């Protein structure tokens, strides 16, 4: 799930990424061009009471960002609820977030 909340002045968007708890056994990161594709910067928190992986980021409104999920340090996944997808240089696709 991706939830977007625009700031009162409309310059920033608070984006909440969530994935079901069962997608990973150890860790999940949301990585993209908004954090230089760095898994440490995008590490998601496991919310035990809701059984979800969650990460909130504040991004500039009016921009488009590419991202993917990095699961358990070995598997890449896209988000079905993203605003789109584009090919990447690894013969796969990146999810797209339009703000």
75 CB-near residues (< 8 Å, 6+ apart): none
What's residue 32's pLDDT? 97
What's residue 37's pLDDT? 96
3-class secondary structure, 22: helix
Q: Give the other-Cβ count within 10 Å of 21's Cβ.
A: 15
What's residue 41's pLDDT? 95
Quick check: pTM over 0.85?
Answer: yes
Fold assignment, 2-98: Immunoglobulin-like (2.60.40)
What's residue 39's pLDDT? 96
Q: Residue 90: pLDDT above 90?
A: no
56-84 confidence digits (pLDDT tens)? 999 999 999 999 999 999 999 999 999 99
Q: Is the dihedral of CA 15, 20, 22, 70 positive or negative?
A: negative
- The residue assigned the tokens 């996944």 is 77
């Amino acid at each position: 799930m991706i939830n977007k909340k625009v700031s009162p002045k409309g310059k920033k968007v608070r984006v909440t990424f969530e994935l079901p708890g069962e997608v990973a056994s150890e860790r999940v990161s949301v990585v993209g061009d908004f954090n230089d594709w760095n898994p440490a910067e995008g590490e998601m928190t496991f919310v035990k009471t809701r059984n979800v992986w969650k990460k909130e980021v504040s991004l500039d409104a009016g921009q488009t960002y590419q991202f993917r999920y990095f699961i358990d340090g070995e598997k890449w996944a896209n988000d079905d609820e993203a605003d789109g997808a584009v090919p990447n240089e690894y013969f796969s696709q990146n999810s797209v977030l339009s703000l």
